[in-house]
Amino acid sequence: MKTENEILEMAFAMFLEKGFSEVSTNELIREAGLTKGGFYYSFKSRDDLDQKVVEKYIHPFFTNPVEKMQEAWEGKKQDAPTGELIWNGFFMPQRFANFQNAIGKEVAFRNFYFLLYESMKKFPEVIAYSQEFSEKRGKCLHRILERGQKRGEVVKNINLENYVTMILAMQDGIFALKVLDEGIDDEEKYKNIQMQMWKDISTEGTEKYRDGGVTSAVS
């Protein structure tokens, strides 16, 4: 008999292919090699299984980047350049590979995002995860830029809130593009966003941080 974790992994794989709504409970039971009694011994209901899949495989998509942001911020060296900290504490944590590592499973980008969108319609808590994540990544970027101003590395006469809003929107736009074309090099696009942003706000010109401070971070 499969363990609960094995059933959840199997269910997640089926949901990635078809979506939550297109996989019946009977299909899950057959695929798991269970009887109905065995299924309901492991899970109180179909909704219980769905919720556990969400917690195990979708929730980390939001929590893992926040953890990486916090690690970068707390582990920063006193003299870490702002451009480098922006990359390590904000852009790098968004990479899909980090999420896959967190759940210990490779998944197709497009399949996951379709499932993610469906889960936002189906489960209110996923909307809450998304809203919390957006708030925390905005605060992270604002904190880094504010630090840069205090260090004299970021110009003073800019509206930080406007820059944060703009960069978040650009990041979300790259994710949307990647849904349409999985071949897009999102890391390269993130580098370009940071380089352009740094060109706009740096007090030291573009030569010192010509790579947006990211060369060592991605090598």
Output the domain CATH number for residue 156: 1.10.357
Domain hosting 89: range is 54-218
- The answer to whether 160 and 142 are in contact (CB under 8 A) is yes
Q: pLDDT tens digits, residue range 136-176?
A: 999 999 999 999 999 999 999 999 999 999 988 988 898 88
CA 217 to chain CA centroid, nearest Å: 18
Q: pLDDT tens digits, residue range 43-87?
A: 999 999 999 999 999 999 999 999 989 888 888 777 889 988 888
- From the list 214, 206, 212, 17, the residue with the least C-alpha distance to 110 is 17
pTM for the structure as a whole = 0.86
For residue 83, being part of any structural domain is answered with yes
For residue 39, being part of any structural domain is answered with no
Total domains, the chain? 1
For residue 31, being part of any structural domain is answered with no
For residue 1, being part of any structural domain is answered with no
For residue 1, which amino acid is it?
M
Token pair of 132, please?
């919390």
